[in-house]
Amino acid sequence: MAKIVIIGAGSHTFSRNLITDVVSYPELRDATISLMDIEQGPLDLIAAFAKKLVKQHGFNNKIEATTDRRKALDGADYVICTIQLGGVKQKARDIAAKYGLADGWTGPASGVANGLSQIPVIIDICRDMEAVCPDAWLLEYANPLSTICWAINDYTKVKNVGLCHSVPHTAAQLAKYIGKPIEEVSYWVAGINHFAWFLEFKWNGKDAYPLLRKAFENPAVYSADDAHWAGADIVRAEVLKTFGYFLTEASFINAYYMPYFRKSSRPDIMEKYKLETGGHPERHPHRDETTQASRVIEDKKFRDEIESTKEFPLNPSREYGAKIIHAMESGIATRINANVRNTGLITNLSAGSCVEVPCLVDREGIHPCYAMSARCPRRPPL
């Protein structure tokens, strides 16, 4: 019987998806799910949800909740880390903004500051794992993902993999752009987290890039305010037109890595790429206050649902965490995209760095795939 630990479980929007994903697999319905957070209130809320979900469906999962990290980790087989130091209002962004560098929470400047804050805490978690569950896998979700995983690889002995939903979410977005079901789409993606390339994009086994280029002949497809969950997708469309490949994540995040798109001194450019419009909190002038207020409302709604007679459905998300655990426990292989040490997987990126590549997962573990060479001729630029 596997023991699955979620560190930072109090972030219930993410944790409820992870818990639901786990129990959606029949092979994992006797696993122990240990929830850990430093705040008792949010922890109690997600624990109540987990217990209700398991009871409603008649599963045998044991649900634990504790603020004691070592207690949670003791005997763990899988540790899912979702912490965000500082909560909604991260000081890393304030440090970047102080010097006029507004680049989100994983962008170049604030990404460095955020990493310097997060890494020591996550290394402490790894030290606890080395002591009480040395054979466990760490499934790392905390940002900045590449920086953190690089540090874990260099300074600990913990088996780890970095996970992000940007690849499957982008695949679903591409399926939407070409008007095809996501179940009929396949892809091969490699790069770095939040900046990986769809080297292959297929529909029913055939190259789907011609369909995407045809769809993008109409600018309204990608420039509408509701084109993507984060608003207009103009930046990624421009990158596609230039290089012939589509990027993961959202346009407003990609723009943080490419300063020629995001120029605060050029409001005309910001307006052209719609980088100051849209509903995402990262681009809201009062993003922290807005997000905090919305989370208070979400917490109350979630608590009311738990206390009501609401039936919680088993609707799996696109997260990779439970897929990995299921593959390792059941022996039913799967393929994911994950962040791992670069051991020649992408030859034109630094050896030993962290890269996001396709990985096969089975009972024996996680097996990264060779992704691309320094000169990848898969597709010529448009």
Position 124 in a domain: yes
**381 pLDDT band (50/70/90 cuts)?**
very low
Q: What would the mean pLDDT of 30-41 be, rounded to a whole number?
A: 97
pLDDT surpassing 60 at residue 281: no
On average, the pLDDT of the chain sits at: 89
Predicted confidence (pLDDT) at residue 278 exceeds the cutoff of 60: no
Q: Give residue 16's domain range.
A: 3-162
Question: Any long-range contacts for 374-382 (C-beta under 8 Å, 24+ apart)?
Answer: 374/347, 374/348, 376/199, 378/199, 378/200, 379/199, 379/209, 379/244, 379/245, 380/244, 381/242, 381/243, 381/244, 382/213, 382/240, 382/241, 382/242, 382/243, 382/244
Please indicate whether residue 205 or residue 255 has the higher confidence score (pLDDT): 205
Specify whether 133 is located in the same domain as 212: no
Give me the half-sphere count of Cα atoms (radius 13 Å) on the Cβ side of residue 162.
Answer: 27
Residue 335 belongs to some domain of the structure: no
Same domain, 16 and 150: yes
Q: Residue 208: inside a domain, yes or no? A: yes
Specify whether 205 is located in the same domain as 148.
Answer: no
DSSP states along 283-295: GSTTHHHHHHHHH
Q: What percent of the chain has pLDDT over 90?
A: 73
Co-location of 69 and 178 in the same domain: no
Q: Residue 350 domain-assigned? A: no
Contact 341, 351 (CB under 8 A): no
Instruction: pLDDT band for 255, please (50, 70, 90 cuts).
Output: confident
Cβ atoms 121, 153 nearer than 8 A: no
Mean pLDDT across the stretch 197-216?
Answer: 97
pLDDT at 103 > cutoff 70:
no
279 pLDDT more than 60: no
Q: Are residues 145 and 175 in the same domain?
A: no
The C-alpha atoms of residue 90 and residue 298 are separated, in whole angstroms, by 20
Torsion of CA 226, 230, 234, 235, to 10 degrees: -170
Phi/psi region, residue 75 (left: phi>0; alpha: psi -120 to 50; beta: rest), is: left
Is the pLDDT at 363 greater than 50? The verdict is: yes
Q: Of 61-65, 82-86, 132-136, 362-366, which gets the smallest average pLDDT? A: 82-86
Please confirm, yes or no, whether 165 is among the known catalytic residues: yes
36 in any annotated domain: yes
246 confidence band (pLDDT: 50, 70, 90): very high
Higher pLDDT, 188 or 292: 188
Euclidean distance between CA atoms 94 and 97, whole angstroms: 5
Confidence of residue 105 (pLDDT cuts 50, 70, 90): low
Higher confidence at residue 254 or residue 186? 186
Q: Is 143 found in the same domain as 210?
A: no
Do 145 and 213 belong to one domain? Answer: no
Mean pLDDT of 217-227: 95
Q: Say whether both 206 and 260 belong to one domain.
A: yes
pLDDT of res. 377: 47
pLDDT higher than threshold 50 for residue 284:
no
One domain, residues 24 and 141? yes
Q: What is the mean pLDDT of residues 11-25?
A: 94
Question: pLDDT for 164-206, tens place per residue?
Answer: 999 999 999 999 999 999 999 999 999 999 999 999 999 999 9
Confidence (pLDDT) at 123: 98
| Boundary residue ending a domain (162, 190, 211) | 162
Q: What angle do CA 38, 41, 43 make, to 5 degrees?
A: 60
Among 283, 307, 327, residue at a domain's last position:
283
Of the listed 165, 194, 228, 326, which one is catalytic?
165
| pLDDT above 80: residue 93 | no
- 317 domain residue, yes or no: no
Pair 8, 28 in one domain: yes
What is the pLDDT averaged over residues 292-308?
A: 86
CATH code (residue 7): 3.40.50.720
The DSSP secondary structure of 197-245, one letter per residue, reads: EEEEEEETTEE-HHHHHHHTTSTHHHHSTTSBTTB--HHHHHHHHHHS-
pLDDT class for 261, splitting at 50, 70, 90?
Answer: confident
Q: Which two tokens stand for residue 96?
A: 């970047």
- Segment 297-308 mean pLDDT: 91
pLDDT at 10: 92
pLDDT, position 12: 83
Give the pLDDT confidence score for residue 379 in this predicted structure.
47
pLDDT band at 289 (very low <50, low <70, confident <90, very high): low
Q: What percent of the chain has pLDDT over 70?
A: 87
The more confidently predicted of residues 285 and 169 is 169
Determine, yes or no, domain membership for 247: yes
Confidence of residue 382 (pLDDT cuts 50, 70, 90): very low
Number of domains making up the chain: 2
Of residues 296 and 324, more confidently modeled? 324
Final residue of a structural domain among 243, 260, 283? 283
Q: Which residues contact 21 (CB under 8 A, 6 or more apart)?
A: 316, 317, 319, 321, 322, 323
**Do 187 and 97 fall into the same domain?**
no
132 and 87 belong to one structural domain: yes
In a domain, 50, yes or no: yes
Residue 13's nearest CA partner among 310, 299, 358 is 299
Instruction: Give the phi and the psi of residue 347 in degrees, each rounded to 5.
Output: -75, -20
Q: Judge whether residue 259 has pLDDT over 90.
A: no
pLDDT band at 89 (very low <50, low <70, confident <90, very high): low
Identify whether the C-beta of residue 51 lies closer than 8 Å to the C-beta of residue 307: no
Q: Which residues contact 249 (CB under 8 A, 6 or more apart)?
A: 166, 170, 194, 195
- The band of 101, judged by pLDDT with boundaries at 50, 70 and 90, is low
